[in-house]
């Protein structure tokens, strides 16, 4: 894939290892996709929403890693809502093959299984 996209990765704090897996997957030489991870990596301060919105607005897309933890993750839910408000394309990825949790802000047609092909298709649409 010739283009590298700026992607914001949204996830519940409990699911950080899956964010690390996704970033590692993109760096794999055999991976059919690549992107620059723009997720928030430092603890939030009092102005986190403004900083986060600015970061999201500067991205080509947002990938939300969705699990049973996500509906309780206020930050992740807010990030998805901010991306939607800013017109940033969103892809929801289920981190577990058996967990099909849905969250507000991502229609069922934008929720996909975690596969290289699904991520590649999303990045190719940007």
Q: What is the pLDDT of residues 97-120, one digit of tens each?
A: 888 999 989 999 999 999 989 998
Q: What is the pLDDT of residue 37?
A: 65
Q: In what order do the strands lie in the sheet with 35-37?
A: 35-37, 5-10, 61-66, 90-94, 111-113
Q: What is the pLDDT of residues 20-68, one digit of tens each?
A: 999 888 887 777 666 766 666 555 666 778 888 998 999 999 999 999 9
Q: What is the pLDDT of residue 42?
A: 58
At the fourth CATH level, the homologous superfamily of domain 5-124 is: Toll/interleukin-1 receptor homology (TIR) domain (3.40.50.10140)
Q: What is the pLDDT of residue 32?
A: 64
Q: What is the pLDDT of residues 67-106, one digit of tens each?
A: 999 999 988 999 999 999 999 999 999 998 888 999 989 9
Task: Collapse the DSSP code of 116 into the 3-class scheme (helix H, G, I; strand E, B; otherwise coil) and give the result.
Answer: helix
Residue 58 tokens read as: 């500067």
The position carrying tokens 């890693």 is 65
Task: Give residue limits of the domains in the chain.
Answer: 5-124
């Amino acid at each position: 894939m010739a283009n590298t996209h700026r992607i914001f990765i949204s996830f519940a704090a409990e699911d950080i290892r899956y964010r690390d897996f996704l970033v590692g997957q993109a760096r794999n030489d055999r991976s059919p996709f690549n992107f620059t991870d723009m997720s928030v990596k430092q603890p939030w301060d009092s102005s986190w929403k403004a900083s986060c919105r600015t970061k999201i607005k500067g991205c080509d897309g947002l990938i939300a890693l969705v699990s049973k933890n996500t509906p309780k993750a206020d930050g992740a839910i807010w990030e998805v809502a901010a991306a939607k408000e800013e017109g940033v394309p969103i892809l929801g990825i289920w981190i577990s093959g058996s967990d099909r949790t849905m969250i507000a802000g991502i229609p069922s047609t934008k929720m996909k299984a975690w596969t290289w092909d699904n991520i590649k298709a999303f990045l190719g649409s940007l």
